[in-house]
Amino acid sequence: MTKKTDIANLGEFGLIRHLTENIVLKNDSTRKGVGDDAAVLAYTGKEVLVTTDLLLEGIHFDLMYVPLKHLGYKSAVVNFSDIYAMNGRPKQITVSLGVSKRFCVEDLEDFYEGLTLACDIYGVDIVGGDTSASLTGLTISITCIGEAEKDQIVYRSGAKDTDLICVSGDLGAAYMGLQLLEREKSVYRGEADFTPDFGGKEYLLERQLKPEARKDIVESLAGAGILPTAMIDISDGLASELLHLSKESHTGCRIYEERIPIDFQTASMAEQFNMNLTTVALNGGEDYELLFTVPLALHDKAAALNGVKIIGHVTNAALGNCLVGRDGGEVGLKAQGWQDGRM
């Protein structure tokens, strides 16, 4: 039987020390990390970017099928994605946890293993945080600090009429991964020998349980000499993020159904669940891909970027926000959103 250590045996400060004692700092901007009353950061000649994310058990994740190591990894990555969406580079995070009595020290070790793995891969320092007892399961709050050159920061508000609309990766896979997990959970009735049916669907599970922030796309854009006019990460679904860009930039948009990138496994699962594939891609959420706009004059450079697809263009605000179907018909974009696994 796996050993379980009661958190009370270590106490709050002992627990933090136990979970963070092997952290090695990676960034020059981190002058002092965990271990004092506050972290000390030193940024010279750079703008500082700050984002925070709150994850609640039962709302944002279900520990019936989400391993704690994967949860730790994902909790960090979703914050990194926000910094990359500003064309910045994440450098530090603070981590605060609300933990109920059903968790033991080994559970939190698993969470921190995933968290530190993400930080090692993306070159980010864990510089502080807090733990507290909770009556409602597991609560995770992470704040990420990043940096960017002042003239390189990309906001949601810079898109211009005729700009190209680009998206990285493919869309809808994370949502279909969630549907797959929820289906298997509903089939499970407590049988000791139950084996979930995940064969051939590994990509969908990875997109849901272990997403990646698109550091590579930000680096590719810089290497190609492309500074997007506007950018946002796709956490709530393509349609929702397009509407955010249009609102902040005071523009409209036209995207083309046939150009939306969708993986084969996503299409296959949508068919099995009798879901409209375009609706899944537009509204599924949690893809953490980058949606960005570039000037029309940079078409050839943008089209040459690996892992990037041009899906439409920015229009005058008076023309609204529309999806052009495969038959040429237009429908207005609506943010159906992603809530509790349902659209």
CA distances from 47 to 59, 90, 209, 217, 232 (A): 33, 12, 32, 21, 18
Q: Are residues 237 and 262 in the same domain?
A: yes
Mean pLDDT per segment of 10 residues, for the chain of length 343 residues?
73 70 83 82 93 94 94 98 98 95 92 97 94 90 96 97 98 96 75 64 95 98 98 96 98 98 96 95 96 98 98 98 96 72 38
CA 290 to centroid of chain Cα atoms: 10
Q: Are residues 212 and 304 in the same domain?
A: yes
pLDDT of residue 34: 80
| Residue 101 counted as domain residue | yes
Q: Is 96 strand, coil or helix?
A: strand
pLDDT of residue 195: 58
| Residue 342 counted as domain residue | no
Q: What whole-number distance in Å separates Cα of residue 114 and Cα of residue 340?
A: 23
pLDDT of residue 99: 94
Helix axes of 173-187 and 264-272: crossing angle, nearest 10 degrees: 40
pLDDT of residue 96: 95
Q: What whole-number distance in Å separates Cα of residue 11 and Cα of residue 85?
A: 38
- CATH number of the domain encompassing residue 194: 3.90.650.10
pLDDT of residue 103: 92
Boundaries of domain holding 142: 7-152
Q: What whole-number distance in Å separates Cα of residue 87 and Cα of residue 153?
A: 6
CA 38 to centroid of chain Cα atoms: 27
Domain count, the chain: 2
